[in-house]
Structure 1
Amino acid sequence: MASSLSRGIPVLVAVFSLVAVLCDGFPTTMTLERAFPVSGDVELSQLIARDRARHGRMLQSTTGGIVDFPVHGTFNPFLVGLYYTKVQLGSPPKDFYVQIDTGSDVLWVSCSSCSGCPSKTDLEIPLNSFNPRSSSSASAISCSDQRCTKGIQSSDATCSAQDNQCSYSFQYGDGSTTSGYYVSDSFHFDNVQGGGESQTANSSAAVVFGCSTAVSGQLTKTDRAVNGIFGFGQQSLSVISQLASQGITPKVFSHCLKGDDAGGGILVLGEIMEPNMIYTPLVPSQSHYNLNLESISVNGQELNIDPSVFATSSTGGTIIDSGTTLAYLAEKAYEPFVTAIDAAVSQSIQRVPAKDNQCYLVTSRFSS
């Protein structure tokens, strides 16, 4: 499985359609026609829609269609500090806004009996809770269920012989925790299929997700409260793996984030080819999406950091995690990096220490 990350900057490209003129069954002339005019701006959404249709046709023949999700939020920790999307669960379907997290596997939402789940948020979204009794298609997952067994193998599930209920308990990097039990219910989505012009069909599939009965830590805060977390990991209980195993979508997703205060971006189950995208291979056989970080440079100068600091192992390496607001470095890489940044910043700029971190006070906009 691959995660595609980009800066989300609109790029104008020339897109052409190939037209063949047939004579007695053989092509005699071939002309190129522009799909978009030479002059004038083209919205990025138009390019993406055309690209998605093209790739939808390619993917349909082997691995199903493409599922598209709206992306909200920004990277800016002083505004939102997270990216989230909307999912629809249950029968009848109900909206839930969940944080996008490539660092975990499971989709979970607040349950109606949740302790500590926030009841209000500073984000302009409704906060709903999931009630299995209110959904005609919901069913509990027992310990004997094969899906629970696979979840136990990946440490995404636990089982209590006392009540025969497949459960979970997670702790995230910021110390937040959540626990609850698994249910199976309808997951609703727009499936983009190929065939001539792209077609969008309302579809649904039965997926297993978490019904959280307790949360703690940052998950209880109202300033950035959402309905739950949408794990995009690669284990069997991730929605990506479940839909791929049913032949609905390919086992690949594209996650492009806008790096400005406007935020948003693109999130699809499927592949989107973006112009000028730079790729890096992921390290195979890892529980997370690890990559090989080789070095760090500041102002074009490579820092003197032992490469072993970046080595990928079962307990280390560099992880791509959309659920983490900040970037974190090992101490032996962090110290020379911060020192180099400080040396690169003009001495005329005021230094402001804040909680053991070095901050800089600037009065005008600048490019980083």
Structure 2
Amino acid sequence: MEPLLFLLFALFLAGSSSVRLNPEAERSKQQAFRLPLYHIHGQGPDSAQPEETPLPFSEALALDIARVKFLHSRLNGTVTSLAGSSGLINGKSVKVPLNPGQSIGIANYYTKIGLGTPPTYHLVVVDTGSSFPWIQCEPCRVYCHPQVGSHFNPSASNTYRRLPCRTSQCSSLKVATLNSPMCTVSNVCIYTASYGDQSFSVGYLSKDSLTFGSESLPDFVFGCGQDNMGLFGRSAGLIGLAKNELSMVSQLSARYGKAFSYCLPSSAPLGKPGSGGFLSIGSVNSGARSTPMLSDPRDPTLYFLKLTAISVSGRPLPLAASAYSVPTIIDSGTTISRLAAPVYDALRKELVRIISSKFQVAEAFSILDACFKGGAGQIATAVPPVNLIFQGGAELTLAPENVIIEVVKGTTCLSFAATTRENAIIGNQQQQTFEIIYDITNSKIGFSPRGCS
């Protein structure tokens, strides 16, 4: 958003209004909550959800490239704030279903949450690479993108309130959103959340009751979006799971502990829609093999781990340990894993050697330069076992659907690409069907096979 437009929007919001206070609710101790998680190519959470034309893979890949550039810019300190300088004013657990997102027009995973008293329910993107939760709100003073279902209506909730600029949550917005907060003339805090593809959400910093399943928690801090533009598909908003005090995980940690896990259902495992995905907040599977959860001072909110080796058919790639030395992000919102060039070249060479003995090589597809003629179901028969091995011995033993992806009918590519940047990324194509466990308290990331039912 241009600085002048941003200022006009801030002034537009400033004429707004009423703030209602909600009484303190007594907090009860709970074990965990679990929400369904859906994939864009899978079945949605209810039969009333309108079907959407699947996003062409070329467009999904373009969004993926934009996301990776944004992650790199965050690490390099080159993210541009949307607000111009003239616009700035001085132990326990729960579980929910997860779905992949194309039925709402996005290449991500989403779930359903309730907001307000009484609650209304909305489909929101779930993302480990961002922190700040927001949702499209009435009256949409500037613009709300088309979404499945209705916007959240604050005036219909008995417990909604806007937060003033003096609050600690308003002060935390700079780190959580990468943009400085602003104030209305009536002292209401305005947030701006911006993303790598120029998408953004601007609105009021707010509090209300969050509902998931039969559980309800008061005083959930989120953005009530009044100007929301970009590539969010038909979702109502976004829930961030990164390491920041405003993320959903941090806000629920007093009741459920600082841990979560998810199983990303496959978008279309060899042509069959995925199911059984979930997001679980709270207690985690302590029996899973784990690797240290690392941090990078360039962006301490992201999740890092150390990839130490890759094996194909049980044999490690012929690489020195130093080839794997780049910092590696694990991210639910990136589709295609990016590997350091020497690692990718060695993996590509070995897989092409094996698969091309049975299937003809096809032309490259955008950044995917190892492709074959045939559908994913056919090519899968020639895909050897591939293991990603992490510090401490934790492994992801990849099935064929974690290794290949059908980009157009009759053409299937390896779902890896090279990066010349200073960090690698483990994307969601390789995470699908595993339970990925984030034990933030003990700084561990674990992997459990066959996590989705």
Q: What TM-score comes out, normalization by structure 2 length? A: 0.55
| Cα 1:226/1:348, change in 2 over 3 Å | same
Contact 1:105 1:156 in 2 (8 A): no
Distance (Å, rounded) in 1 between the aligned partners of 2:362 and 2:293: 38
Give the stretch that moved more between structures: 350-359 or 90-99.
350-359
Q: Does 1:230 align with 2:252?
A: no
Contact 2:133 2:238 in 1 (8 A): yes
| Cα 1:142/1:92, change in 2 over 3 Å | same
**Which among 111, 115, 119 is matched to residue 89 of structure 1?**
115
User: What is the DSSP-based 3-state SS (H/G/I as helix, E as strand, rest coil) of the residue aligned with 1:334?
Assistant: helix
Q: Does 1:242 align with 2:256?
A: no
Structure 1 position 98, deviation (Å): 0.8
Question: Which structure has more RCO (C-alpha within 8 Å, separation ≥ 6)?
Answer: 1
| Cα 1:271/1:340, change in 2 over 3 Å | same
**Which among 168, 172, 180 is matched to residue 158 of structure 1?**
180
Structure 1 position 88, deviation (Å): 0.2
Q: Does 1:171 align with 2:194?
A: yes
**Which among 283, 288, 294 is matched to residue 294 of structure 2?**
283
| Cα 1:307/1:75, change in 2 over 3 Å | farther
Distance (Å, rounded) in 2 between the aligned partners of 1:308 and 1:342: 24
Contact 1:114 1:215 in 2 (8 A): no
Distance (Å, rounded) in 1 between the aligned partners of 2:161 and 2:239: 20
Structure 1 position 157, deviation (Å): 5.6
Distance (Å, rounded) in 1 between the aligned partners of 2:143 and 2:361: 39
| Cα 1:165/1:301, change in 2 over 3 Å | farther
**Greater per-residue helix proportion:** 2
Structure 1 position 308, deviation (Å): 4.9
Counterpart in the other structure of 1:214: 227
Q: What TM-score comes out, normalization by structure 1 length? A: 0.66
Structure 1 position 93, deviation (Å): 0.7
Distance (Å, rounded) in 2 between the aligned partners of 1:241 and 1:211: 19
Distance (Å, rounded) in 2 between the aligned partners of 1:129 and 1:114: 12
**Which among 125, 135, 139 is matched to residue 99 of structure 1?**
125
Deviations 1:54-106 (A, max 9, x none): xxxxxxxx964312212222688868343211100012211011111111112
Distance (Å, rounded) in 1 between the aligned partners of 2:228 and 2:341: 30
Question: Map of 1:197-346 to 2, 5 A cutoff?
Answer: 202-219=215-232, 221=233, 225-244=234-253, 247-259=254-266, 260=269, 261-273=273-285, 277-284=288-295, 286-305=300-319, 307-308=321-322, 310-311=324-325, 317-346=327-356
User: What is the DSSP-based 3-state SS (H/G/I as helix, E as strand, rest coil) of the residue aligned with 2:169?
Assistant: helix
**Which among 346, 357, 361 is matched to residue 373 of structure 2?**
361
Structure 1 position 306, deviation (Å): 5.8
Contact 1:74 1:262 in 2 (8 A): no
Structure 1 position 150, deviation (Å): 2.8
Deviations 1:137-180 (A, max 9, x none): 11112210112223335555622245434333333345533333
Contact 1:156 1:237 in 2 (8 A): no
Structure 1 position 128, deviation (Å): 2.4
Contact 1:65 1:250 in 2 (8 A): no
Counterpart in the other structure of 1:185: 208
Counterpart in the other structure of 1:138: 160
Contact 1:143 1:165 in 2 (8 A): yes
Contact 1:64 1:250 in 2 (8 A): no
Question: Map of 1:60-139 to 2, 5 A cutoff?
Answer: 64-73=30-39, 80=102, 81-112=107-138, 113=140, 117-120=144-147, 126-139=148-161
Distance (Å, rounded) in 1 between the aligned partners of 2:143 and 2:315: 48
Structure 1 position 116, deviation (Å): 5.6
User: What is the DSSP-based 3-state SS (H/G/I as helix, E as strand, rest coil) of the residue aligned with 1:341?
Assistant: helix
Contact 2:130 2:242 in 1 (8 A): yes
Contact 2:122 2:236 in 1 (8 A): yes
| Cα 1:102/1:356, change in 2 over 3 Å | closer
Distance (Å, rounded) in 2 between the aligned partners of 1:233 and 1:64: 22
Structure 1 position 107, deviation (Å): 1.4
Which AA in structure 1 matches 2:190?
A: S
Structure 1 position 269, deviation (Å): 1.1
| Cα 1:162/1:213, change in 2 over 3 Å | closer
| Cα 1:343/1:170, change in 2 over 3 Å | farther
Contact 1:183 1:209 in 2 (8 A): yes
Distance (Å, rounded) in 2 between the aligned partners of 1:161 and 1:89: 24
Distance (Å, rounded) in 1 between the aligned partners of 2:347 and 2:126: 28
| Cα 1:175/1:357, change in 2 over 3 Å | farther
Q: CA RMSD in A?
A: 3.0
Structure 1 position 283, deviation (Å): 1.0
Paired residues, what number? 281
